[in-house]
Chain A
Amino acid sequence: MTLKRRYKRRYMVVLFHSSPEELLSTARERMLDMFGHVITQKAVLKTIDKIGPDLHVIRCRSEYLGEVLCSLTLIGSEHPAVVLDVSGTLRSLRTRARVKKMSLRLP
């Protein structure tokens, strides 16, 4: 029997018309507002990658995926965020994101 050392992660592709830093700060702000400091801290939100100018890849703890998705959906800033895809592995997410980027015809 092996020991589970690391928590499970979920990766998301988010369409957001601004910098990844702004995406993360607005998402954290909304999450803080909705679920409090403890859940926000436990969710471990982090930006991973940027696919083109508007597609961002962010990561969170799988247990708090629901809370993160709610926060991203309800971001109240001038730039709304659209969650295009969620995956357990970065590789499959990147493959799917490339297809989505092509069908969105983003530069």
Chain B
Amino acid sequence: MHVVQPVLRFKDLLGLKSIGIENGTGSYDSIDGEANVIHLLRRKPTAPTKFRYLVISENYHDLITKDADLVEITAIDQQFFEMLKRSSSKKLGIEIAVSWLRKTNGQKLAKNIALIKSIHNFTEKYGNQLVLTSGASSIFEMVSGRCFDALLELCDIKPETYWNSLNNWLEHKINMRCYICDT
């Protein structure tokens, strides 16, 4: 929990309501349930947990597997859009990290911005959700709410619409899981 505390403090400074923290493949028993924190796990826990979580995957071919809620996108081809069409009933999250955009030069960045716009349109059409994340490995790589809004506007996405649909998607995904309640 000591690692999470500075992140939570920083989250409030950046005007973010809740954040996702990636967990390794270790034991999930030691993780406590913390309000406004969503744990991002590589594999689905076998038993109910104390904490809220989403199952993530780096490989978009996992779109057709059952467990993944969120798929991180770093390279896209035509196959990706075909996969999205096929997995429309699962309400998948398509994650695009700002850290990935940071690494690209101007020309590639422009392409990626156009791509984010097309992915957003595509996810809206087929019932999935675009999830723009910071992809931060330290607090100094985190992105504030205001900057997320600016990036969304750059991609011709209305921030209000995006945050509302993301909120609904998160509630839907998190409420589908089984949790242990402390009473």
Interface size on B, residues (CB 8 A): 26
Binding site secondary structure of chain B: helix
- Asked if A45 is an interface residue, CB under 8 A from chain B, the answer is no
Chain A's closest residue to B155 (CB) is A70
B147, CB-defined interface residue at 8 Å = yes
Do B109 and A74 touch (CB < 8 A)? Answer: yes
Partner of A83, one of B102, B103, B141, B147: B147
Q: Is B146 on the interface with A (CB-CB < 8 A)?
A: yes
With an 8 Å Cβ cutoff, the count of chain A residues facing the other chain is 23
Nearest chain-B residue to A84 (Cβ)? B13
Select which of B106, B144, B150 is within 8 A of A66 by beta carbon: B150
Neighbouring A residues of B147 by C-beta, 8 Å: 69-70, 72-73, 83
Residue pair A70, B150 in contact (C-beta under 8 Å): yes
Q: Name which residue of chain B comes closest to A32, CB basis.
A: B106
Chain A residues positioned under 8 Å from B151 (CB to CB): 69-70, 73-74
**Bound-state Cα–Cα, A67 to B14, Å:** 19
Measured CA separation A35–B98 after assembly (Å): 18
A95 part of interface (Cβ distance < 8 Å): no
The residues in B between 93 and 110 inclusive whose CB is less than 8 angstroms from any CB of A are 98, 101-106, 109-110
Q: Quick check: A82 and B14 within 8 Å, CB to CB?
A: yes
Instruction: Determine which residue in A70, A79, A83 has the highest number of CB atoms from chain B within 10 A of its CB, and name it.
Output: A70
Chain A positions within 8 Å of B142 at CB level: 82
Q: Is the CB of A83 within 8 A of B144?
A: yes
Contact among B13, B103, B106, B140 with A100 in the assembled complex (CB-CB below 8 Å): B13
A-B contact pairs, 16 of them (CB 8 A): A33-B106, A65-B150, A66-B150, A69-B146, A69-B150, A69-B151, A70-B151, A72-B147, A74-B98, A74-B109, A75-B102, A76-B104, A82-B14, A82-B140, A100-B13, A104-B13
A residues lining the B interface (CB < 8 Å): 15, 17, 33-34, 65-67, 69-70, 72-76, 79-80, 82-84, 86, 100, 103-104
